[in-house]
Amino acid sequence: METVGRVSIVDTVISELRAEIARGAWQVGERIPPEGQLAESLGVSRLSVREAVRVLVHSGLLSTRQGAGTYVTATDEGQIALRRHLGGVTAGDILDVRRGLDIVAARLAATARTEEDLTALRQAMDRRTAAGRAADLDTFTDADVDFHLCVAEAAHNPLLRDLYRNMSDALRETVKAGRCMDEAGEDLFHSALFEAVSAGDPVAATSAALAILEGGDEEDA
């Protein structure tokens, strides 16, 4: 980090900390350095750092844990705004948006996926199948969302990836509400999507993504 000037010190510290978070200097869930270390790095007082951190906690980028320090909770305010907005929408609204994201993600993943992407997809699908057989709803839900996140990652489109990541909590609720674990055809649909992405077939991948969503629609009806 660069040493900051003395004009609008707190605002400058806020900007510098925000930039460090955006650059990935500290990942989501990671603790940022203590006040004294930040103050020394930036060439400002601890009071200025404390006030800047307070502002970023209020904005939602950081959170404080009593006796444990300050942690990164998001990488930009846009993520926070989206998460707050998602808290007030219906399952139908989420499904409509997910339909669009899943179709685009499947099509792009079929042409852009790497071997590492396919490995991650296979692992998520295997966890999903195992959890379904064990009737472990929480693990099944996490694995189901992880599978679709892996598809979005395999698309190698940063905006699509970030949108999907920020919807992940809402998607977990729709998976549980839709009783996806009880659907006999669900594993077949997900296997078809995996095979289409693996084969590099965007048409088949799009069809498989639609089949998964249409199965959810039928269950909700």
Last residue of a domain, one of 75, 100, 116: 75
What is the C-alpha radius of gyration for the chain, rounded to an integer number of angstroms? 21
DSSP state of 31: B
118-137 average pLDDT score: 91
Question: What pLDDT, in 10s, does the model give residues 192-201?
Answer: 999 999 999 9
Whether pTM > 0.85 for this model: the answer is no
Q: Does the pLDDT value for residue 41 go beyond 70?
A: yes
Q: What CATH code is carried by the domain that includes residue 197?
A: 1.20.120.530
The total number of structural domains that make up the chain: 2
Q: Does the pLDDT value for residue 174 go beyond 80?
A: no
Instruction: Give the pLDDT band of residue 217 (cuts 50, 70, 90).
Output: very low
Residue 53 lies in a domain: yes
- Please tell me whether residues 89 and 61 are part of one structural domain: no
Give the residue, 150 or 96, on which the prediction is more confident: 150
Q: Does the pLDDT value for residue 219 go beyond 50?
A: no
- Please tell me whether residues 164 and 190 are part of one structural domain: yes
The pLDDT of residue 220: 40
Mean pLDDT for the chain? 83
Q: What CATH code is carried by the domain that includes residue 53?
A: 1.10.10.10
Instruction: Give the pLDDT band of residue 80 (cuts 50, 70, 90).
Output: low
Last residue of a domain, one of 42, 75, 108: 75
Task: Give the DSSP H/E element, type plus range, for residue 127.
Answer: helix 115-133
| Among 160, 220, 211, residue whose Cα is nearest residue 185 | 211
Contacts within 8 Å (CB) and 24+ apart, 184-187: 185/215, 186/132, 186/212, 186/215, 187/128, 187/129, 187/132
Angle, helix 137-154 to helix 91-112, in steps of 10 degrees: 50
Token reading at 58? 């209020």
Asked whether the beta carbons of 197 and 121 are under 8 A apart, the reply is: yes
Last residue of a domain, one of 75, 96, 128: 75
Cβ-Cβ contacts under 8 Å for 102 (sequence gap 6 or more): 148, 151, 209, 210, 212, 213
Q: Does the pLDDT value for residue 124 go beyond 90?
A: yes
- Please tell me whether residues 192 and 204 are part of one structural domain: yes
